[in-house]
Amino acid sequence: MREKLLISTGGGDAPGLNAVIFAVVNSAARKGWEVYGSRAGYGGLLDRDDLVRLTPEGVEGILSQGGTILGSTNKGNPFAKPVENLAGEIQIVDISDKILTNFQRNGFFCHIAVGGDGSLEIAHRFAQKGMPVIGVPKTIDNDLEATDRTFGFDTAVSTATDAIDKLHSTAKSHDRVMVVEVMGRDSGWIALYSGISGGADAILIPEIPFQMDAVCAKISDNELHDKHYSIVVVAEGARSEDGEVINKGKGELGRSEMVLGGIGEWVANQIRDRLGKDTRSLVLGHLQRGGSPTTFDRLLALRFGAAAVRLAEQGIFDHMVAWVPPNMTAVPIAEAIRNRKKIDLGSDKVQTARDIGICLGD
């Protein structure tokens, strides 16, 4: 009997998801296995129409495409799914048994779950219930501690750097301060990498609660040195020393995380009020998640996909593939999701930022 393998993509999308699918389908096919994709996370284990057969011919050409051909969701936790009862009230129900039963009935021997910390936590809970699961780390935020990089990050940094590059000429033409808000809930990887590479004057990250006095001092110093424009890059999860992370509430029903956003506008208003400078803010938002993956992200995603199939062959489950240069390794999922990867404030990247005169808000 041929082995049947299941793959799903969960959480916010990231450039490179299709490359993982491409690698899994092609590696598995060469072992004589059948691969099925589950639409929108666990949808294919709830509704047969959402279970799709994936073949090398069917995935031809997807590796360079952004998004995921399987669709994704960040409000689909099967252990706590909100459903409306007859009285119109929302109840939280656990549908994980049904999903596990359907997984077994379909004869799958392994589930490759591609996702960030939220999706991997769900995958781990299924592993504890008896589903043989292998995790593949994904998030543009690059905040999973067990792996040096997650795919999608490099593409997001490229997009953000490109945007910052373009802001220089308009900021300079109008003697303005431009404040760019980038993604990064718990850590400022995108802000730091794109801010340094894009020649920002200040970079504000969740790891360093910032002082507006420091940011304004940097802008005033620019003026003294005859530079009448400034660029400030701020991660969505950054906060001032005496403030909170700005959020828009939980948004759609079933989300576990707050929708962040608004810190860029807040910083811009502070600069305008304190310095009287013409200031504008913009939010790059989901532009950073879109588009074709960079070469780096494609290669990393392909390596993750192929490594996941090798783990399946070896029967190593409840583990996540991780890149610990120069090797691909496997880390127990529980360990991989324990801590978020924060920027090491003693690292040479942070030191480089300080050395070239970038204000980090402290």
How many residues are present in the chain? Answer: 362
Min CB(14)–ligand F6P separation in Å: 8
We find the least distance from the C-beta atom of residue 31 to ligand F6P, in angstroms, to be 32
Least Å distance between CB 74 and ligand F6P? Answer: 5
Instruction: Give the Cα separation of 19 and 34 in Å (integer).
Output: 18
Residue 245, SS3 per DSSP:
coil
CB closer to ligand F6P, 212 vs 260: 260
Give the interface with ligand F6P as residue ranges (CB under 6 A).
12, 74, 116, 139-141, 183-185, 236, 259-260, 289
Minimum distance of ligand F6P from residue 310's CB (angstroms): 27
Q: Output 247 or 270, the one with its CB closest to ligand F6P.
A: 247
Min dist CB 231 to ligand F6P, Å, is: 20
Establish whether the linkage from the previous residue to 56 is cis, with ω within 30° of 0: no
> What are the backbone dihedrals phi and psi of residue 110, each rounded to the nearest 5 degrees, phi first?
-160, 145
- Look up residue 232 and give its DSSP letter: E
41, HSE (Cβ side, Cα atoms, 13 Å): 23
- Of all residues in this chain, which one has the CB nearest to ligand F6P in the complex? 183
Answer for the pair 31, 309: CB distance below 8 angstroms, yes or no: yes
Helix (H) or strand (E) holding 312, with range, is: helix 295-314
What backbone phi and psi angles, to 5 degrees, belong to 235?
Answer: -75, 145
Closest separation in Å from C-beta 311 to ligand F6P: 24
Contact in structure between 322 and 331 (CB atoms under 8 Å): yes
| CB closer to ligand F6P, 42 vs 108 | 42
Let me know: does 150 contact 19? Beta carbons within 8 Å: no
Going by C-beta distance under 8 Å and a sequence separation of 6 or more, which residues neighbour residue 122? Answer: 10, 77, 78, 79, 113, 115
Q: Out of 141, 201, 297, 318, which one is annotated catalytic?
A: 141
Can you read off the two tokens belonging to residue 92?
């939280």
Q: Is 348 a catalytic residue?
A: no
- In the bound state with ligand F6P, the residue whose beta carbon lies nearer, of 189 and 317, is 189
Choice between 306 and 336, CB closer to ligand F6P: 336
Taking the least distance from each CB to ligand F6P, the nearer of 222 and 281 is 281
Q: Could you give the residue numbers annotated as active site?
A: 141
